[in-house]
Chains A and B, each alone.
Chain A
Amino acid sequence: MGLKLKSAIISGFRGFNPEVKIDFNAPVVVLYGENATGKSSTLNAIEWCLFGSSEVVGEKNTGIRERIDWEIINRNAEKCYVEVELEKDGQVYNIRREKSNGRDNIYIRFSDGGKIEGKKAQEEINKLIGNFSFRDFMTCIYQHQEVIRYILTEEPRKRDEALDRLFGFSDYRNISEAIKKFSPKGDELEKKIDEIKSWINSRIDALNEIIKRRKEELSKKGLSRVDEKERISIAKQIKKLIEDFCSEIGADLSEKFSKIDLEQKEFVDVAEEEIRRLRKLIPEERKLNELVRRKTKINHYIDEYDDLNKKRSEVKRKIDKFVRENGDDKKIKEKVKQIEQTIEALEDQKEVMNLYALIIEKVMLYLESVEDKDICPVCGTRKKGLLIQLKKQWEKEHKEKFEKINKEIDSLKKELKDKERLLKDYERLIDDWKRADEGFRKYVNKIRVDEKISEREDVRRKLEKILSELESEIERLKKSTSEKTARIEEIEEKIKLCKDIDEILKDIALREKIRDIVRTQEWKKLKELSDDFKKFVDDVERIRDAILRATKDGVDEIISNAGEKISEFFGEITSHPKIKKIKIKVEQNLRSGGNQYKFYDENDENLLPVLSQGNFNSLAISIFLAMSGMTGQKMPFDFIMLDDPSQSLGFQEKVGLIKILDIIAKEKDIIIATMDSELLDEIKKMSSEKKIYKFYKWTPEKGPEINEEIVS
């Protein structure tokens, strides 16, 4: 006998809030109600009470995607608890699991009043259910509605995956999928080693080329042998030459050079430094350097003198041109004065004319106001047509003369402005001249002071004379130092030779060092790591292969034990007129490596193309029912739980399912959660004793209302 489920007390768990007690003391118990009224929560509560949050929450163990964000405690409750009463061989076990503040706690009460909790309680439960794991519970005791839904998928690969899970191989699937995602190439590091090898070879080739070219260059200079011995021999010659040169010019060897060992790498650099020092110590060379510096200075004086003088001359030329074209400032000023006087005379003339005009105007006004317009009011003489004559005279003489004088004045004023502008231009030119002349004179004075040139002498000529003397002296000195310079150059040539040999020897040493890399411990370690990597990747692949083979073997084993039963149940449930039996065969999918399920009828005809959604639903239920009653499988529970088993079943298929359940109910208690009224009607027809709970009016605060329906 296994454990029978007697009752469940639920509070604060998922869809439940206030405490609810449900009795399961009948062979068939139906939880009936619309969607989301707490039916599945009831089955989940039993599952959670027995196995705890670490097993039932999340996708990891369940393989159910909907459980990723599962919340155990109802949002309107602070804690939750579920207590299930199990009975076996007259002994009653009240298992209670509580959750608050993120922690699970578990208790067991026994018939004799004894109570244990925590780890001990969990150990007692494990003892009670033997080695029956949560995965076994999912496969054989509790048929989850999501698993049937996954089987009904159109996609073959996903259906195969769901079937693996239905057969209890969800862990196999999950691990195999996780390993498959990891896909480095085993020879990745080996390829990198090959790259390094090829780099080593190309580097050696390049160095060979450089060494060859340098040797050829040295050979052209008469050096046939390039080795350390030859290099030391040349270094010795350099040392001797430098020592001789020092004594010749009466200088001492520097401390650094006298101490340097010929074999030292730095010998060449120290010798070069010594030559630079000695060159400066040659007396003629020193004098020569001074003369060259002086020559540069004189040349600079001449250039600057010429430049300033040129600027001054240009200003002078501009002034001359201006005077030629416009006269000098004196002339312009005279002209200005003359224009101003003319304007003044014309203005006087205009004033006199104005007085005369005023008289005529008044006479005309008077004549216009009197009747006799022929008598002059000034002299009293009578003149016929006097007013008309005066008007004509006014128009002709005064107006015309006025306009002429005004025009003349305007023209003179314009001319006056031009002359004033010219005066300003002239002043500007004079300023420029003063500046240029002053700059030039200052510079000439500076040269006179620096070069001690008297006021009587012409600076430019004097500078040219100095320059000519300097050049002669430089030429003379150059001739006298040429012998010593040739000696220095000879030593420098030797140093260059020594330097070239050093470079070649350095390249040869580097080439040997690179050749030796493949013989070093580092290289060995690199190879070891590459082998380790390859083995690791192969091992991972071997493990995946073993998992896939184990899955296939496992499914084969189940099919060989329960295949007949699955086929029998399937034949009973399915309404397909031609399919009365089903044979399941498992093959390894060559592409994914996973299991591939194939279905055949009794004549070995492939059924896959003709199986409907209802057929797949029947198959899923058949597999579950067969697994739950599998011979050889020790079942610690004497009940099974089916959640929405008729999702895609047709009426005839529901009738078939109920027929099988009626048989199973004689051995095991059955709890069915459903919203299917057709299925409920069929359940009511079952011969087994049954209890029906109706779930309705669910709210998040109060959970479901549950009423027991009396079944006759």
Chain B
Amino acid sequence: MDLKERVNKMLEDEETKQLWEEIYLAFEDGGINGIEKLLIRKVEEIKNEFEEIKSEIDKKIKGK
């Protein structure tokens, strides 16, 4: 059994399995750097959206 399948079997949640699939593909395409880029991109996506909304709320609190 190869790595992809072996790890996949140990995961329960579908979303986690999907993420594993993405991580594995990123590794195949770009090695360790590929994984780093993928994880950073995903984190930045969430954080950027969060910061945008936060800045709108900040403006409301300041009464602007």
Q: Which chain B residues border A553 with CB–CB below 8 Å?
A: 6
> A58 within 8 Å of B by Cβ?
yes
Query: Contact between B3 and A550 (Cβ–Cβ < 8 Å)?
Result: yes
Query: Contact between A535 and B39 (Cβ–Cβ < 8 Å)?
Result: no
In the complex, residue of chain A having the shortest beta-carbon distance to the beta carbon of B46: A533
In the complex, residue of chain B having the shortest beta-carbon distance to the beta carbon of A200: B61
State how many angstroms separate the Cβ of B51 from the closest Cβ of chain A: 9
> A178 within 8 Å of B by Cβ?
yes
Which parts of B1-31 form the interface with A (CB within 8 Å)?
2-3, 6-7, 10-11, 13, 15-16, 19-20, 23-24, 27, 31
In the complex, residue of chain A having the shortest beta-carbon distance to the beta carbon of B19: A539
Q: Identify A179's interface contact among B2, B35, B43, CB under 8 A.
A: B35
Query: Contact between B53 and A543 (Cβ–Cβ < 8 Å)?
Result: no
Given contacts A179-B35, A540-B19, A550-B10, contact A192 B50 (CB under 8 A): yes
Q: Identify A529's interface contact among B2, B6, B23, B46, CB under 8 A.
A: B46
Annotate A538-564 by CB proximity to B: 1 below 8 A, 0 otherwise: 011011001101100110000000000
Query: Contact between B53 and A175 (Cβ–Cβ < 8 Å)?
Result: no
Annotate A107-135 by CB proximity to B: 1 below 8 A, 0 otherwise: 00000000000000000000000000100
Q: Main SS of chain A's interface residues?
A: helix
Annotate A49-93 by CB proximity to B: 1 below 8 A, 0 otherwise: 000000000111000000000000000000000000000000000
Q: Which chain B residues border A182 with CB–CB below 8 Å?
A: 35-36, 39-40, 43
Q: Which chain A residues border B42 with CB–CB below 8 Å?
A: 536
Q: How far is the CA of A181 from the CA of B43 in the complex (A)?
A: 14
State how many angstroms separate the Cβ of B40 from the closest Cβ of chain A: 7
Q: How far is the CA of A536 from the CA of B22 in the complex (A)?
A: 13
Q: Main SS of chain B's interface residues?
A: helix
Q: Which chain B residues border A133 with CB–CB below 8 Å?
A: 2
Q: Which chain A residues border B32 with CB–CB below 8 Å?
A: 60, 174-175, 177-178
Which parts of A514-536 form the interface with B (CB within 8 Å)?
514, 517, 522-523, 525-526, 529-530, 532-533, 535-536
Query: Contact between B61 and A514 (Cβ–Cβ < 8 Å)?
Result: yes
> A608 within 8 Å of B by Cβ?
no
> A203 within 8 Å of B by Cβ?
yes
State how many angstroms separate the Cβ of A195 from the closest Cβ of chain B: 9
Q: Identify A517's interface contact among B13, B15, B47, B61, CB under 8 A.
A: B61
Which parts of A127-176 form the interface with B (CB within 8 Å)?
133, 169, 171-172, 174-175
Query: Contact between B50 and A175 (Cβ–Cβ < 8 Å)?
Result: no
In the complex, residue of chain A having the shortest beta-carbon distance to the beta carbon of B5: A550
Q: How far is the CA of A184 from the CA of B45 in the complex (A)?
A: 14
Q: Identify A549's interface contact among B10, B23, B47, CB under 8 A.
A: B10
> Which size bracket describes the interface of A in this complex?
35 or more
Query: Contact between A175 and B15 (Cβ–Cβ < 8 Å)?
Result: no
Q: Identify B57's interface contact among A172, A523, A542, CB under 8 A.
A: A523
Query: Contact between B31 and A58 (Cβ–Cβ < 8 Å)?
Result: yes
> A196 within 8 Å of B by Cβ?
yes
Q: Which chain A residues border B46 with CB–CB below 8 Å?
A: 189, 529, 532-533, 536
> A223 within 8 Å of B by Cβ?
no
Query: Contact between B6 and A175 (Cβ–Cβ < 8 Å)?
Result: no
Q: How far is the CA of A177 from the CA of B39 in the complex (A)?
A: 13
Q: How far is the CA of A178 from the CA of B31 in the complex (A)?
A: 9
Given contacts A174-B27, A175-B35, A550-B3, contact A543 B61 (CB under 8 A): no
> A513 within 8 Å of B by Cβ?
yes
Query: Contact between B50 and A533 (Cβ–Cβ < 8 Å)?
Result: yes
Q: How far is the CA of A530 from the CA of B20 in the complex (A)?
A: 21
State how many angstroms separate the Cβ of A162 from the closest Cβ of chain B: 17
Q: Which chain B residues border A542 with CB–CB below 8 Å?
A: 11, 13, 16
Query: Contact between A171 and B27 (Cβ–Cβ < 8 Å)?
Result: yes
In the complex, residue of chain B having the shortest beta-carbon distance to the beta carbon of A511: B63
Q: Which chain A residues border B13 with CB–CB below 8 Å?
A: 539, 542
Most A CB contacts (10 A, CB to CB) among B3, B20, B24, B56 go to B3
Q: How far is the CA of A58 from the CA of B63 in the complex (A)?
A: 56
Q: Identify B23's interface contact among A172, A510, A532, A543, CB under 8 A.
A: A543
Q: Identify B50's interface contact among A60, A179, A530, A543, CB under 8 A.
A: A530
Q: Which chain B residues border A177 with CB–CB below 8 Å?
A: 32
> A199 within 8 Å of B by Cβ?
yes
Query: Contact between B7 and A554 (Cβ–Cβ < 8 Å)?
Result: no
Query: Contact between B27 and A543 (Cβ–Cβ < 8 Å)?
Result: no
Query: Contact between B61 and A203 (Cβ–Cβ < 8 Å)?
Result: yes
Q: How far is the CA of A60 from the CA of B31 in the complex (A)?
A: 5
State how many angstroms separate the Cβ of A528 from the closest Cβ of chain B: 10
Q: Which chain B residues border A523 with CB–CB below 8 Å?
A: 57
In the complex, residue of chain A having the shortest beta-carbon distance to the beta carbon of B8: A546
Q: How far is the CA of A169 from the CA of B1 in the complex (A)?
A: 12
Which parts of A480-513 form the interface with B (CB within 8 Å)?
510, 513
Q: How far is the CA of A554 from the CA of B9 in the complex (A)?
A: 13
Q: How far is the CA of A172 from the CA of B2 in the complex (A)?
A: 10
Q: Which chain B residues border A513 with CB–CB below 8 Å?
A: 60, 63
State how many angstroms separate the Cβ of A120 from the closest Cβ of chain B: 22
Query: Contact between B11 and A522 (Cβ–Cβ < 8 Å)?
Result: no
Q: Identify A554's interface contact among B6, B39, B63, CB under 8 A.
A: B6
Interface residues of A (CB under 8 A from B): 58-60, 133, 169, 171-172, 174-175, 177-179, 181-182, 184, 189, 192, 196, 199-200, 203, 510, 513-514, 517, 522-523, 525-526, 529-530, 532-533, 535-536, 539-540, 542-543, 546-547, 549-550, 553-554
Can you name 19 A-B pairs with beta carbons within 8 Å? A133-B2, A175-B3, A177-B32, A179-B23, A182-B35, A517-B61, A522-B53, A526-B50, A526-B53, A529-B46, A529-B49, A536-B19, A536-B42, A536-B43, A540-B39, A542-B11, A543-B20, A546-B7, A554-B6
Interface residues of B (CB under 8 A from A): 2-3, 6-7, 10-11, 13, 15-16, 19-20, 23-24, 27, 31-32, 35-36, 39-40, 42-43, 46-47, 49-50, 53-54, 56-58, 60-61, 63
Which 5 residue pairs of A and B lie closest in terms of their CB atoms, listed nearest first? A60-B31, A546-B10, A178-B35, A178-B32, A550-B6
